Chains A and B, each alone.
Chain A
């Protein structure tokens, strides 16, 4: 038996008779080719369904011009004590219904245009908007009298050809043309239900109609109010995050994680709050909020030890008895003038989704900041991709700024997104011009939606992991929100020896490509891992704030094959632990417990020490495969929170911001007011205005949270 594509289509559509369905399903279970064909058809069907579902976003619900030009007077005609403002776009429908109900009324109005005009809206704009009333109105065909059209009468023909003679007198008036009339009628009558004009006929049906209108109006008002906040039509994708719980030191003496210098999450949060939306909790990576800020840490003296480690301990402001431990790492700063030569490939997504002011045009502006900083040492190539990839500019020396700018500015958005082809092309170019002692890097600017070629996330990750082995680093710059794939981009940057920023404004572009350009472009160490060993005599339990998707197993620390984060020149990394000292009340922490072991004794503390913990850092030089180790113990000398330095308080503010944005429980008395107090207590100079920015965002977030409690659990 040969099974046709048509049968499969009917099967997907659920239209196959039961007997045929059974036969087909039997066949499917034994025929992989047929299954594959079915899957392909299903995929196509899904594509079509998705396209139709999203179509709504391409056309707004109402014409703005109409909304703007007709002042809608509040009209009460609705039952149930509801008072709805009749939206102008409703008037057409209302008018139409009046036509069906009571033809004589409308004819009366039409015969007395002067009267309706005088009571209705008569601004010149309104009159310009609407054509004069058409020839005498007649009731339109009702569904009982409707003619069903056959093929020969199909829709386009209807639109283009002369109207068939039979319809000429049947057509309903143009909705917009009778809007004027209905406005006149309604203004004249107000909410009086005992209309002398309309008589008893309209009177008796008005309630039914009012009902329907109430409903339809409510729909439209809701649609207007909810413009842009219908989650089902936004396709931004964020991975979910479960906050790290407290862990008992006796069971987990080691805490191991990979560093993360990315800052994307902070800009993503800002982008949401600036639209007065609470960010989805998956978009809030607390460590990225903490690491967004340029803390002023002591700098390493020489290139040989590329890090300086600091660690200190203070009271947790939100929980009595708890402490906060800060671990800070400052990378060696290479003055931009003394940097190694760079081999850069700009890989720019110019697909249709990059259309819009915060997308491709912002990419051009952002790269312009970078181009300004390059010189004859550097080489730049530009690759773009949409439906396919294309080299816009072959490798060119960095001092040809005009040429590079021209190439970038010539890009236009359109088409689909074959990201994988672009990635391969960019890495190919980077490898061709590989500088053994230099900085080889692909800079990818995209919204993260890869919908052609390799579209599967895990395959993309494999692809970029393979390419990263060549020694080419990647910087991923996210742009645009609406169909943003944060999870994909974050993972690609993690696995591809990369860093990741989200650029929402020109200000952010300046931070990434100008203020911190060395940190963005020049890697001073790779596979940087942190392991903290806690002293069980002094610490009962701890939790790492943030870094949820960067956690490593304790044994990964010494395993040089395990990939971890990179750190750029002059960059800094901060991690905060909330610590419960030995003997403190652990009730608030909701600590899980295990039964005592039957066959062995718990490990005994070796010797009494006043060290609270030891921070160990492993890293590799960018071109090395063997890791090096730095150790840094922290003695148990608690600084009261009021006396801590501004850097620490800023880091705590950022952490608290993340905790509150994610509505995490278990952080004691932390609330927006406390957070605001902490951040306002910082006195030092606010270089770059980043702290002012944070204060503003905290205010916005608390306002949204307090005003709209239903959005609290986004």
Chain B
């Protein structure tokens, strides 16, 4: 392999990691619920990307998310098998966010994230792909293996549910303090 193509290849890989890395990591985390494994899955995804010929951008993004999703689901299945060994608790304990970092997050963010958590897993996933990764309906359809129309319906339902709970929010959060 000569130096020129190396230089070129690392350029686009670099670029792709920078652009897609953060949303992919959040996405992976939402599936596996563990930062370290999410990072592993995302790195895994980028390594696969780097091993293959370069793809045009509009194909690349859904491809990345789809591969990442499958890596995560693989991991979950694996974890299922590993559980009886009882070694995960120790790791999980260290996986909480640090207090001062978390304290920087605004109230509204916490509240909204909590409300999003109440949605169904499918709704959550589609919301995330739309509003975190900024994907089009078509791209989300590719990632999740659903039809474009179906994605629209899921988004509408999620938005409706979310808006209702946001309107209710002041009552929800206004319960007397202990």
C-alpha spacing A355/B101, complex, angstroms: 11
Q: Which of B63, B78, B125 contacts A172 (CB 8 A)?
A: B78
- Measured as residues with beta carbon below 8 angstroms from the partner, the interface class of chain A is 35 or more
Q: Encode B148-175 as 1/0 by CB contact (under 8 A) with A.
A: 0000100110011011001001101111
C-alpha spacing A142/B21, complex, angstroms: 20
Which residues A124-141 have CB closer than 8 A to chain B?
128-132, 134, 140-141
Which residues B98-156 have CB closer than 8 A to chain A?
98-113, 116, 120-122, 125, 127-128, 130-132, 136-137, 144-146, 152, 155-156
C-alpha spacing A305/B29, complex, angstroms: 66
- The answer, yes or no, to whether A174 is at the interface (CB within 8 Å) is yes
Which A residues lie within 8 Å of B7 (CB)? 80
A54 contacts B107, C-beta separation under 8 Å:
no
Q: Which of A64, A131, A175, A482 contacts B104 (CB 8 A)?
A: A482
- The answer, yes or no, to whether A462 is at the interface (CB within 8 Å) is no
Which A residues lie within 8 Å of B166 (CB)? 44, 47
Which B residues lie within 8 Å of A128 (CB)? 87, 90
Which B residues lie within 8 Å of A60 (CB)? 35, 97-98, 101
Output the nearest chain B residue to A45 by Cβ-Cβ distance: B131
Which A residues lie within 8 Å of B144 (CB)? 148-149
A5-B160, A130-B87, A209-B47 known; A215-B170 Cβ under 8 A:
no
Which B residues lie within 8 Å of A142 (CB)? 48
- The answer, yes or no, to whether B61 is at the interface (CB within 8 Å) is no
A93 contacts B39, C-beta separation under 8 Å:
yes
Q: Which of B106, B111, B122, B177 contacts A350 (CB 8 A)?
A: B177
C-alpha spacing A62/B25, complex, angstroms: 11
- The answer, yes or no, to whether B6 is at the interface (CB within 8 Å) is yes
A44-B163, A155-B31, A211-B10 known; A449-B107 Cβ under 8 A:
yes
- The answer, yes or no, to whether A577 is at the interface (CB within 8 Å) is no
Which residues B63-97 have CB closer than 8 A to chain A?
63, 66-67, 70-71, 73-82, 85, 87, 90-91, 93-95, 97
Which A residues lie within 8 Å of B169 (CB)? 387, 416, 452
C-alpha spacing A460/B13, complex, angstroms: 48
C-alpha spacing A177/B166, complex, angstroms: 42
- The answer, yes or no, to whether A337 is at the interface (CB within 8 Å) is no
A171 contacts B47, C-beta separation under 8 Å:
no
Q: Which of the listed residues A10, A143, A214 has the most CB atoms from chain B within 10 Å of its own CB?
A: A143
CB A114 to nearest CB in B, in angstroms, measures 21
B101 contacts A55, C-beta separation under 8 Å:
no
C-alpha spacing A453/B97, complex, angstroms: 29
Output the nearest chain B residue to A235 by Cβ-Cβ distance: B106
CB A186 to nearest CB in B, in angstroms, measures 15
CB A669 to nearest CB in B, in angstroms, measures 39
C-alpha spacing A51/B46, complex, angstroms: 26
B90 contacts A415, C-beta separation under 8 Å:
no
- The answer, yes or no, to whether A150 is at the interface (CB within 8 Å) is yes
A93-B44, A131-B82, A388-B174 known; A209-B36 Cβ under 8 A:
no
- The answer, yes or no, to whether A599 is at the interface (CB within 8 Å) is no
A54-B105, A80-B7, A482-B103 known; A48-B66 Cβ under 8 A:
no
Q: Which of B25, B36, B82 contacts A66 (CB 8 A)?
A: B36
B36 contacts A79, C-beta separation under 8 Å:
no
C-alpha spacing A387/B172, complex, angstroms: 8
Which A residues lie within 8 Å of B177 (CB)? 350, 384, 386, 390, 411-412, 414-415
- The answer, yes or no, to whether B176 is at the interface (CB within 8 Å) is yes
C-alpha spacing A62/B125, complex, angstroms: 22
Which A residues lie within 8 Å of B121 (CB)? 154-156
- The answer, yes or no, to whether A633 is at the interface (CB within 8 Å) is no
CB B36 to nearest CB in A, in angstroms, measures 5
Which B residues lie within 8 Å of A390 (CB)? 176-177
A356 contacts B99, C-beta separation under 8 Å:
yes
Which B residues lie within 8 Å of A212 (CB)? 13, 46-47, 49-51
C-alpha spacing A45/B170, complex, angstroms: 18
The stretch among A159-167, A519-527, A684-692 that forms the contact with chain B is A159-167
Which A residues lie within 8 Å of B112 (CB)? 47-48, 50-51
In this complex, how many residues of chain B approach chain A with their Cβ under 8 Å: the count is: 102
A451 contacts B107, C-beta separation under 8 Å:
yes
A51-B116, A171-B77, A350-B177 known; A233-B104 Cβ under 8 A:
yes
B50 contacts A208, C-beta separation under 8 Å:
yes
Output the nearest chain A residue to B104 by Cβ-Cβ distance: A482
Which B residues lie within 8 Å of A150 (CB)? 145-146
**Number of CB contacts from chain A to chain B under 8 A:** 324
C-alpha spacing A163/B14, complex, angstroms: 35
Which B residues lie within 8 Å of A163 (CB)? 77, 80-81
Q: Encode A313-357 as 1/0 by CB contact (under 8 A) with B.
A: 000000000000000000000000000000000000011110111
Output the nearest chain A residue to B87 by Cβ-Cβ distance: A131
Q: Which of A41, A149, A387 contacts B159 (CB 8 A)?
A: A41
A58 contacts B113, C-beta separation under 8 Å:
yes
Which B residues lie within 8 Å of A63 (CB)? 34-36, 91, 94-95
Which B residues lie within 8 Å of A240 (CB)? none
Q: Which of the listed residues A57, A89, A129 has the most CB atoms from chain B within 10 Å of its own CB?
A: A57
A52 contacts B101, C-beta separation under 8 Å:
no
- The answer, yes or no, to whether A664 is at the interface (CB within 8 Å) is no
A215 contacts B35, C-beta separation under 8 Å:
no
A174 contacts B103, C-beta separation under 8 Å:
no
C-alpha spacing A41/B73, complex, angstroms: 33
- The answer, yes or no, to whether A399 is at the interface (CB within 8 Å) is no
- The answer, yes or no, to whether A234 is at the interface (CB within 8 Å) is yes
Which B residues lie within 8 Å of A175 (CB)? 36-37, 40-41, 44, 75
C-alpha spacing A414/B121, complex, angstroms: 26
CB B68 to nearest CB in A, in angstroms, measures 10
A171 contacts B50, C-beta separation under 8 Å:
no
C-alpha spacing A94/B50, complex, angstroms: 13
Output the nearest chain A residue to B80 by Cβ-Cβ distance: A163
- The answer, yes or no, to whether A13 is at the interface (CB within 8 Å) is yes
Q: Encode A441-482 as 1/0 by CB contact (under 8 A) with B.
A: 000000001011100000000000000000000000000101
C-alpha spacing A216/B7, complex, angstroms: 16
Which B residues lie within 8 Å of A218 (CB)? 14
Which residues A1-57 have CB closer than 8 A to chain B?
5-6, 9-10, 13-15, 41, 44-45, 47-57
- The answer, yes or no, to whether A662 is at the interface (CB within 8 Å) is no
C-alpha spacing A41/B155, complex, angstroms: 13
- The answer, yes or no, to whether A639 is at the interface (CB within 8 Å) is no
- The answer, yes or no, to whether A603 is at the interface (CB within 8 Å) is no
Q: Which of B26, B43, B110, B152 contacts A15 (CB 8 A)?
A: B152
B17 contacts A215, C-beta separation under 8 Å:
yes
Output the nearest chain A residue to B122 by Cβ-Cβ distance: A154
Output the nearest chain A residue to B163 by Cβ-Cβ distance: A44
A215 contacts B77, C-beta separation under 8 Å:
no
B105 contacts A57, C-beta separation under 8 Å:
yes
Q: Which of A53, A89, A162, A215 contacts B132 (CB 8 A)?
A: A53
Q: Which of B9, B77, B103, B173 contacts A359 (CB 8 A)?
A: B103
Which residues B1-47 have CB closer than 8 A to chain A?
1, 6-7, 9-10, 13-14, 17-18, 21-22, 25-26, 29, 31, 34-37, 39-44, 46-47
Q: Which of B47, B71, B77 contacts A213 (CB 8 A)?
A: B47
Q: Which of B17, B42, B43, B105 contacts A483 (CB 8 A)?
A: B105
What are the nearest 10 A-B pairs in CB distance?
Answer: A93-B43, A482-B104, A148-B145, A387-B173, A212-B50, A356-B103, A388-B174, A65-B94, A387-B174, A175-B40
Given A55-B113, A216-B47, A482-B104; 8 other pairs, CB 8 A cutoff: A10-B152, A52-B128, A57-B101, A65-B91, A93-B47, A209-B47, A211-B10, A451-B106
Interchain residue pairs with CB less than 8 A apart (18): A52-B131, A58-B105, A59-B97, A61-B35, A89-B40, A92-B36, A211-B10, A212-B47, A355-B103, A387-B173, A388-B170, A390-B177, A414-B177, A415-B174, A449-B106, A452-B169, A482-B103, A483-B106
